[in-house]
Amino acid sequence: MRPLSVATRSFHRYTGRMTTRLQNLSDALYELYKDRKDLLFHGWHHVYFVSKKAVEFADELGVDKEVIEAAGLVHDLNYVVKTGTEPEAGKELRTSYLQAAGFSPVEITHIERIVMEAHTGTRHADISDAAKVLSDADSVFKVMPLTPILLSSKYITENHVDVKQWARKIIAEQQPLLKQGIYFYTETAKRKYLRWAETDLEIVSQVEDALQDPIIRETLRLTEELGVI
Angle at 92 between CA 85 and CA 123, to 5 degrees: 50
Domains of the chain by range and CATH? 4-225 (1.10.3210.10)
* Gap between the Cα atoms of 31 and 150, Å rounded: 24
Q: How far is CA 169 from CA 82, 124, 162, 165, 166, in A?
A: 18, 17, 11, 6, 5
Predicted structure pTM score? 0.90
pLDDT in tens, the chain (229 residues): 344 444 444 344 334 457 999 999 999 999 999 999 999 999 999 999 999 999 999 999 999 999 999 999 999 999 999 999 999 999 999 999 999 999 999 999 999 999 999 999 999 999 999 999 999 999 999 999 999 999 999 999 999 999 999 999 999 999 999 999 999 999 999 999 999 999 999 999 999 899 999 999 999 999 889 988 7
Q: What Rg, from alpha-carbon coordinates, does the chain have?
A: 18
* Gap between the Cα atoms of 198 and 86, Å rounded: 25
Condensed to tens digits (0 to 9), the pLDDT of residues 151-201 reads 999 999 999 999 999 999 999 999 999 999 999 999 999 999 999 999 999
